């Protein structure tokens, strides 16, 4: 039986996911001429010119928000704005400021007690990756032939009318799949992971790790990463049931899209725009009532060990999805209720850059709009205020980070649960219905003497009263409530 150990800092983290090309520009990073205007609608291929020094220069915003961990989508040299087509795993893209800019960002973040996690794309590389490019140049005479899976000749990396003749991720010939069964390839990737840990990063988010089938690959990856930094975070991009990777010998957590889907289906319900969630590997439709939502959450919390639950990366949207604001048809209450659940649920909450100011966005590339630093009139100050309030509450109350979880009530549009440690108990309730909801939950399960309990509202609207062995909860329409139990 493997003893499951996960990084303690992740349990207390609030993550902020940044798509570097779209977050912020620094005047200190030279730029090529043919960039898209910052405020123009994003395109699939165009660059805005965001960089890592721009992030470093806006850490005040993140600190003021309450963020203490940053997850960067890929930053290594690439010929795409998203950089999932890696050219060189040892060089930060020059448009981002190069490797010296990453060093400055890491140092600046660490001075503020912020962690930095990078995106590792280890299943596939790109047509411009040196080892694959050598095969394109030299054909069967390339010394790197077995670094990829070549099926026939000639290779056709650009002509879609002809077979590619090599294995690529989901058939995308721009992304030749690395042959991780080759020990040389495996060792190369392990050393890449080790190198950037020595450079000071705090963990790896792993792109499509389920595509690597090589036996023992991720077990070795964990061993070598943890040998350098036992507190390094390893989080995989797995959208569905992830038990095979979360047994304590591979990842510390995954991007928790099972949580995402359930929360959206409950808080946004029938408001979800189907066209914005199709062709994604999660299921925010059909709408869920509280009873159905509770069943999904109960199942999810039984799926993995508690130590893993506390280091799951919980999110509402990302660079791979439309933003929740758009998914919910612009309904602000849906986003608010989902955000209440995000910051009170077990696991590390993650904000996609711009969500804290109400930045809209449909599916890729629209979800990757540039952050409007020069247009503060576009910031939704109400959204910013409740993000700050909920993050502050999470930091102020350890029970919201590591406390036990118990469902208290689920019926109609009302869902309530408690987070409790030995020092404090908080009750969280959300009402997704269009009318006031009242519910009665058994409170004795928490071993409290009801006559001695009262509640202080620390967030939202509504009330809760103890009556004999019951907790009576009342919540206004489409609102949320967080209460602190006091004796």
Q: Catalytic residues, which ones?
A: 207, 237
Which residues make beta-bridge pairs with 484?
426, 456
- Phi, psi torsion values for 130, nearest 5 degrees: -50, -45
Distance (Å, whole) CA 188 – CA 184: 6
Which residues make beta-bridge pairs with 450?
none
149 burial (CB, 10 Å; 0-12 / 13-18 / 19+) is: middle
Rg from Cα positions in the chain: 23
Residue whose entry in the numeric block shows the structure tokens 């840990």: 197
Distance (Å, whole) CA 179 – CA 361: 36
Q: 332 with 271: CB under 8 angstroms?
A: no
Closest CA to 39 of 362, 380, 369: 369
Distance (Å, whole) CA 376 – CA 392: 23
Joined together, the tokens standing for residue 281 give 């590997």
Joined together, the tokens standing for residue 240 give 């569905």
Q: What angle do CA 105, 232, 116 make, to 5 degrees?
A: 20
- Residue 132: its H or E element: helix 130-138
Enter the DSSP assignment of 4.
Answer: P
From residue 120, how far is each of 180, 197, 203, 475 by CA, in Å? 14, 12, 10, 43
Distance (Å, whole) CA 415 – CA 289: 9
Residue 335 three-state SS: helix
Distance (Å, whole) CA 92 – CA 105: 12
Joined together, the tokens standing for residue 260 give 């995402």
Q: 272 with 261: CB under 8 angstroms?
A: no
From residue 462, how far is each of 8, 423, 431, 474 by CA, in Å? 34, 24, 10, 5
Joined together, the tokens standing for residue 357 give 């100011």
Q: 386 with 394: CB under 8 angstroms?
A: no
From residue 345, how far is each of 57, 154, 335, 406, 447 by CA, in Å? 31, 53, 15, 11, 21
């Amino acid at each position: 039986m493997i003893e499951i150990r996960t990084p303690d800092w992740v349990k207390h983290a609030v993550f902020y996911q940044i798509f570097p090309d779209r977050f912020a520009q620094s005047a200190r990073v030279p730029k090529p001429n043919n960039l898209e205007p910052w405020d123009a609608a994003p395109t699939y291929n165009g660059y805005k010119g965001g960089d890592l020094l721009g992030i470093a220069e806006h850490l005040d915003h993140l600190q003021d928000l309450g963020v203490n961990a940053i997850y960067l989508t890929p930053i290594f040299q690439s010929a795409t704005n998203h950089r999932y087509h890696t050219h060189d795993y040892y060089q930060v893209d020059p448009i981002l400021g190069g490797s010296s800019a990453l060093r400055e960002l890491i140092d600046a973040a660490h001075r503020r007690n912020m962690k930095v996690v990078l995106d590792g794309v280890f299943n596939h590389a790109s047509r411009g990756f040196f080892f694959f490019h050598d095969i394109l140049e030299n054909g069967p005479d390339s010394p790197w032939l077995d670094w990829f899976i070549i099926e026939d000749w000639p290779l056709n990396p650009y002509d879609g009318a002809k077979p590619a003749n090599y294995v690529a991720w989901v058939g995308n010939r721009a992304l030749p799949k690395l042959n991780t069964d080759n020990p040389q390839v495996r060792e190369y990737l392990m050393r890449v992971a080790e190198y950037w840990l020595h450079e000071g990063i705090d963990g790896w988010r792993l792109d499509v790790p389920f595509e690597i089938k090589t036996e023992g690959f991720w077990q070795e990856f964990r061993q070598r990463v943890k040998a350098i930094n036992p507190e390094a975070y390893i989080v995989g991009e797995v959208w569905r049931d992830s038990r095979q990777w979360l047994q304590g010998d591979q990842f510390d957590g995954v991007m928790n899209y099972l949580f995402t889907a359930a929360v959206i289906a409950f808080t946004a319900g029938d408001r979800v725009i189907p066209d914005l969630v199709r062709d994604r590997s999660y299921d925010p439709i059909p709408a869920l009532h509280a009873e159905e939502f509770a069943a999904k959450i109960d199942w999810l919390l039984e799926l993995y060990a508690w130590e893993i639950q506390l280091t799951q990366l919980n999110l509402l949207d990302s660079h791979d999805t439309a933003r929740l604001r758009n998914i919910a048809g612009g309904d602000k209450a849906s986003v608010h209720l989902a955000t209440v659940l995000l910051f009170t649920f077990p696991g590390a909450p993650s904000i996609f850059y711009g969500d804290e100011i109400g930045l809209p966005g449909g599916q890729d590339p629209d979800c990757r709009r540039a952050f409007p630093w020069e247009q503060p009139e576009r910031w939704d100050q109400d959204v910013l205020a409740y993000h700050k309030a909920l993050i502050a509450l999470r930091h102020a109350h350890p029970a919201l980070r590591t406390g036990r979880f118990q469902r208290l009530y689920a019926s109609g549009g009302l869902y309530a649960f408690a987070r409790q440690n030995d020092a404090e108990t908080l009750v969280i309730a959300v009402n997704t219905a269009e009318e006031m909801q009242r519910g009665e939950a058994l409170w004795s399960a928490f071993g409290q003497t009801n006559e001695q309990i009262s509640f202080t509202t620390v967030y939202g609207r509504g009330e809760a009263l103890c009556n004999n062995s019951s907790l009576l909860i009342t919540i206004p329409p489409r609102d949320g409530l967080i209460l602190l139990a006091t004796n």
